[in-house]
Amino acid sequence: MFKGSYVALITPMNDQGRVDYPALENLIKFHIDSGTHGIVAAGTTGESATLPFEEHIEVVKQTVAMVNGALPVLAGSGANSTAEAIYLSEQMAHLGVDGFLSVVPYYNKPQQAGMVAHFNAIADATDIPLLLYNVPGRTVADMLSETVAELAQHKNIVGLKDATGDISRLKVTQALVPEDFVLLSGDDATSCEFLCQGGHGVISVTANILPAIMAQICNAALAGNFTKCRELDEQIHAFHHALFVESNPVMPKWALYKMGKINSAHLRLPLVLPELKSKKQIEALLDKHALIAGNKGQ
């Protein structure tokens, strides 16, 4: 089920900082129409760190309702407190989500044994499939391939989002996990090569902006057409970098605002709008690809 292009969906907000549900519905329709294979709701790109529990759960609930079975929905359920991650999982287990995505605890720097205990406890809490998320650039702690393999023995732990950007890690992990264990790239800049080396898909920030081409890249790779996969990726490679010149999701929100897909680029503090230099960089790319929707300033 968890293959192809999954968008790490932003959470649109109005200028008062409240979740903009009509904009969220428009984004979901955009992805359904563009061929996106699945949606991650209230993940880290969705500003989960600054969504209170009730709001986090509501965003996921509304996303499932708006998707209405057209695409699989993964719900972010990560926290640096195991008890909080379990609470979120239990509260969202009956919302109709297809799976959970749970990040390595941030700031705590858990040992490998601590990661095993943490994720096993979350997986024990519900019967919903759980995907692990390793992004040491944000969490500091790095979940090793051997740890992933140990966790893969749990019946509910079915995959990994690998955002290390290290393709050599993929081969190591592939050799240690079951054949049906899902391996998804969480690093857009290296995602094409990840797919060409046997990855099953992506959870992509770039897909917020270019869902159709990200889906095409995954379709090509999964069909074994690696030449086409690389050719398509080369066309949009600059986006993979421009969308990360400031902390995610600062740049994808600004890009979607300039595209007219959301009404405001509002971010929850401590994140703020991008600097002028960053705005100009992404706007130049959007203009080059004919994605700007009118002249918007903020």
Binding residues for pyruvate: 45, 203
Q: What 8-state DSSP symbol labels residue 75? A: E
Which residue's entry shows tokens 């690998």?
162
Q: Are 209 and 251 in contact (CB under 8 A)?
A: no
Retrieve residue 20's tokens. Answer: 């903009």
Query: How many residues would you count in the chain?
Result: 298
- Element holding 61 (H helix, E strand): helix 53-67
How many angstroms separate the CA atoms of 4 and 2, rounded? 7
Give the count of alpha carbons within 13 A of 286, CB side only.
27
Q: Are 291 and 209 in contact (CB under 8 A)?
A: yes
- Element holding 38 (H helix, E strand): strand 38-41
Among the listed residues 3, 161, 253, 261, the single catalytic one is 161
Secondary structure of residue 163 in the 3-state scheme: coil
* Residue 133 designated active-site: yes
Among the listed residues 6, 106, 133, 257, the single catalytic one is 133
Catalytic annotation, residues: 133, 161
